[in-house]
Every structure is written in structure tokens, then in C-alpha cells.
Amino acid sequence: MTRIVVLFNLKAGVDTKAYEAWAVSTDIPIVNGLDSIAAFSVHPTTGVLGSEARPPYAYVEIIDVADVDQFGADVTSATMQKIAAEFQAFADNPTFIMTRTLGAA
């Protein structure tokens, strides 16, 4: 399985409550409803372990992709293009990191 980790802050002027309400009501249920997705979650960051420092990113998304080929088809759908555009209106230059799991077959 491929895991995508998305790191981002909100754009200047974006209301945190508005973004989080959209994420809960729209982004999370729609992405989790895609055939290609095993799991999708959004995590507001709360701190840096062992430090008083502020985390460099306000949000982390975890996207577990069960079927990469289907994912490619899913993200080009009209629904996901709309969701992606809405996300881009909230997120300031998000970084999408593709990962693999060590020891996995």
C-alpha cells in the first residue's frame, strides 16, 4: 500500500474553523468514499515533542492508497477536481510526500 503524507499550513486570512468544518463535512467523507482509498484522515498539529517550539506545519493529512491505478482515475474525476480546487483555496503550498512501508510485501 502507498501512503501519502500531506504537510501544509493554511493561507493567510483563511479561517481555521471554516477549513476544519469543510474538512470534516466534505473532504474527509468524499476522499474516504473513493474506491482507491483504504483510509484518509486530517490531523491538526498540537506541538513538537520535547520542545516549546511551534510545529512547522499546522496540518498533516494521511492518505492510504489501496489501489494506485484506481487512485489516478479517482483524482481526475469531476468531484475530486472540485475538492482539490477547494483544498487549494485553503492550503498554502501543500507538500505531498509518497511513502512505502519497510518490511511490507
The DSSP code for 69 is H
* CA contacts within 13 A on the Cβ side of 11: 11
Predicted TM-score (pTM) of the model is: 0.94
Give bridge partners of residue 44 from the DSSP assignment: 59
Taking the CA atoms of the chain, what radius of gyration do you get in angstroms? 15
CA distances from 101 to 2, 4, 96 (A): 8, 11, 16
Strands (DSSP E) contained in 1-105 are: 2-10, 37-44, 59-65, 91-99
What the chain holds in terms of domains, given with CATH numbers, is: 2-47+56-99 (3.30.70.100)
Q: Write out pLDDT tens, residues 36-80.
A: 999 999 999 999 999 999 999 999 999 999 999 999 999 999 999
Q: Which amino acid is at 58?
A: A
* CA pair distance 68, 25, nearest whole angstrom: 25
The helices-and-strands tally (H runs, E runs) of the chain is 4, 4
Residue 105 pLDDT grade (very low, low, confident, very high; cuts 50, 70, 90)? low
